[in-house]
Amino acid sequence: MVIGGFGGFVPVALIPFSMFLKGEYLVFAFLSIVLSSTKIFLSLMSVEIMIAVNRTVDMSHRGTMQGFCSLGGSIAKAAGPVFGGALVSFCYHSFLPRLGGVIIFVVLALIGFISTLAINFLDKDFYYHSCESESITSSESDASLTIQV
């Protein structure tokens, strides 16, 4: 999850550097590369989160946890424009417009950096123990199915 998180959020801090580039095509190419790499790595991170949720919960509770994950994602998508609008309004009215634009992307990159660090400190023992017990359970149920048939 660390690769998806850092690869998805850290390039956001590079967006203000496009103000220093000369030429439309160079700026377009730079922003295309930065934004496409951000989308690719954030997609990777969302898949990694779903895999982690699936492995840390018993099979009988997976549907409920996936529902909570979807609920969390929906709340974040709903709160994102409100937070983004407040951030843009604050930065453009409190600072110079150019400096405010830089601060916006730095704040977004810091939020992503902090959330990626928080995900990195999840309890790894529980995660790996759950994976091992699930594989043992599934192999035992396969053996019992073969004996019954």
* 36-53 pLDDT, tens digit each: 888 888 888 778 777 777
Sorting pLDDT into bands at 50, 70 and 90, what band is 143? Answer: very low
Least confident piece of the model among 5-14, 69-78, 101-110: 5-14
Instruction: Answer yes or no: are the C-beta atoms of 46 and 76 closer than 8 Å.
Output: no
Count Cβ atoms below 10 Å from residue 28 Cβ, excluding itself. 12
Selection from 42, 59, 54 nearest residue 1 by Cα: 42
Whether residue 125 has pLDDT greater than 70: no
More confident residue, 133 or 23: 23
Q: Is 57 helix (H, G, I), strand (E, B) or coil?
A: coil
pLDDT at 146: 45
Q: Indicate the SS3 state at residue 114.
A: helix
| Per-residue model confidence (pLDDT) at position 66 | 84
For 52-100, the pLDDT digits (tens) are: 777 778 888 888 888 888 898 889 889 989 998 998 888 888 877 778 8
Q: What is the mean pLDDT of the chain?
A: 77
Interatomic CA distance for residues 79 and 75, integer angstroms: 6
Which residue did the predictor score with more confidence, 146 or 8? 8
Rounded CA separation 43/4 (Å):
8
- pLDDT at residue 75 in the model: 93
